[in-house]
Amino acid sequence: MSDDLVRLDGVAKHFPVGGGFFGRTAARVKAVDGVSFGIREGQTFGLVGESGCGKSTIAMLLVKLLEPTAGRLTFEGADLARLDRGAMKDFRRRVQIVFQDPYGSLDPRQTMLKALIEPLFTLKVVADRAAAVARAERALEMVGLDREVLKRLPHELSGGQRQRLVVARALAVGPRFVILDEPTSSVDVSLQAQILSLLAELKRGQGLTYLLISHNLVVIRYMSDVVAVMYLGKIVEMASSEELFTRPLHPYTVALISAIPVPDPEASTIAALAKGDVPSPVNLPSGCRYHSRCPYAQTVCREQEPPLRELRAGHYGACHFPGVAASAVPYRPES
């Protein structure tokens, strides 16, 4: 679709696994293995999956910290592989990322003021220091931090303050598209709600587009318009958030949803629908990658890899027996 702000077409990223002597490659990890999706302007696109599914690798590809092994990534219609120096600065200004570890994302020797204004100069957002400081202060105000934090070092801030600060730093350069990689995994539950509502508010106020990456389905559900579920480097299901959470078709999605302990003692179900653990991405299962954990797997699942296809209008899934697990969605209390 041409109106996509961001697009991935058949994107793959394979990593050589060391272990060989003399730099010989022993094996390849297919961290991302043929992923395509588009994000429309103003959307929040949620990418959910367990460890090793490749969701963070996609984030790294999108900010050009990694180059894809195959496929094409585009932003505003421009191929990311073909950005010249000038276009690159422009790209960095428009695409920002908030990493999951806010403490690690800050230079331990830099005061918060320096942390906020450095990118404004390196990305040529402002011309002089006064303008930079003004912009930094405005960004602080947006995320609800006091000016007083400017003279502090990272270790002198609380977890919540650091998270807000890295958001402020990303927003200060004036991006159009922001990648949020596990934005609340390092904060407590009461702060999680604060950070998420802040992010939702900023999105409305600044007209942003988000790619939200999380292992937490609740966070994804709360924030996203469209959701893609990843498993071992592939998208297994993708639909609007409403559709995906109310009518999941892939057994893995059903397993993820039903794995969440419902905070209601009357709804007593803990359903462990996925067997065993996520297999190592070095040794991918044959056929459907999920078959080794799927309680509904048949012979065909072990032999043939199901393609991602449109199962219902706007609802994509990669399963030989879509909807087979639908009845396993646990009891839900009335809302």
Partner 1 sequence: MTSATRRSGAAATAVPVLEISDLSVELSIGGRWIQALDRVGLTIQRGEVLGLVGESGSGKSLTALSIAGLLPGNARVAGGSIRLNGEEVLGKSEQALNRLRARSVALVFQNPTSYLNPVLTVGAQIAEIFELNPELLEAAGGRTRRREAWRQSIEALRLVRIPDPERVVERYPFELSGGMQQRVVIAMALVRQPDLVIADEITTALDVTVQAQILSLLAELRRTVRLTLLLITHDMGIVAQLADRVVVMYSGSVVESSDVRTLFKSPRHPYSKALLETVPTIDGGRTVFRPIRGAMPALTDPPAGCRFHPRCPDAFDQCSRRKPERLALDPGRVVACHLYEGGAVSE
Partner 2 sequence: MLGQLASIRRSTVATTGAALFVAIFVTGAVAPLVIPASVVRDVAFGARLLPPSARHWFGTDDFGRDLFSLVMLAANLDLRVALSVVLGALLVGTVLGAVAGLVNRLDEPIMRATDVFLSIPSLVLAMAIASVLGRSVQNLAIALVFVSWPIYCRLMRGQVLSEKQKPYVKSLRTLGVGPARMIFLHVVPNTLFPVIARAPADVGLILITMAALSYIGFGPGPYVPEWGSLVAAGQTYIFQAPWLVVFPGVAIFLTSLSLNLVGDWARDVFDPRLRS
DSSP-assigned beta bridge partners for residue 179: 97, 211
Assess contact for 70 and 9: CB atoms under 8 A. Answer: no
Question: Could you give the CA distance from residue 117 to residue 169 in angstroms, rounded to a whole number?
Answer: 8
- Are 144 and 191 in contact by the 8 Å Cβ rule? The answer is no
Strand 44-48 vs strand 315-317: parallel, antiparallel, or unpaired?
Answer: unpaired
**What minimum distance in Å lies between the beta carbon of 86 and partner 2?**
12
261 binds partner 1 (CB under 8 A): yes
Q: Which is nearer to partner 1, 151 or 332 (CB)?
A: 332
Gap between the Cα atoms of 326 and 81, Å rounded: 41
Find the binding residues for partner 2 in span 53-72 (CB under 8 A): 60, 63, 65
CB 110 within 8 A of CB 117: no
CB of 134 to partner 1, least distance (A): 27
Triad 96, 98, 103: Cα angle to 5°: 140
Should residue 169 be labelled a site residue for partner 2 when binding is judged by CB under 8 A?
yes
Q: State which residue, 108 or 265, has the beta carbon closest to partner 2.
A: 108
Which tokens is 331 given?
């009891």
Indicate which single residue of 17, 218, 282, 326 sits in contact with partner 1 (rule: CB under 8 A).
Answer: 218
Report if residue 24 touches partner 2, rule: CB under 8 A: no
Based on the shown chain and the rule CB under 8 A, indicate whether residue 176 belongs to the binding site for partner 2: no
Burial class (CB in 10 A: 0-12, 13-18, 19+), 262: middle
Decide whether 133 or 200 has the Cβ nearer to partner 1.
Answer: 200
Residue among 118, 137, 225, 305 that touches partner 2 (CB under 8 A): 118
299 near partner 2 (CB under 8 A): no
User: Quick check: 112 binds partner 2 (CB under 8 A)?
Assistant: no
- In the window 267-326, what residues touch partner 1 (CB under 8 A)? 267-274, 276-278, 293
* 255, interface contact from partner 1, partner 2, none, CB < 5-8 Å by kind: partner 1
CB of residue 64 to partner 2, shortest distance in Å:
8
Choose which of 155, 190, 204, 276 interacts with partner 2 (CB under 8 A): 155
Among partner 1, partner 2, none, what does residue 284 contact (CB within 5–8 Å per kind)?
A: none
Q: Is residue 328 involved in binding partner 1 (CB under 8 A)? A: no
Q: Is 249 a binder of partner 1 (CB under 8 A)?
A: no
State the Cα–Cα distance between residues 193 and 178, nearest whole angstrom.
Answer: 19
**Binding of partner 1 at residue 228 (CB under 8 A)?**
no
Q: Which residues bind partner 1 (CB under 8 A)?
A: 50-51, 158, 160, 188-194, 196-197, 215-218, 221-222, 242, 245, 255-274, 276-278, 293, 332-335
Q: Which residues bind partner 2 (CB under 8 A)?
A: 60, 63, 65, 89, 92-93, 95-97, 99, 101, 104-110, 118-119, 122-123, 153, 155, 166, 169-170, 173
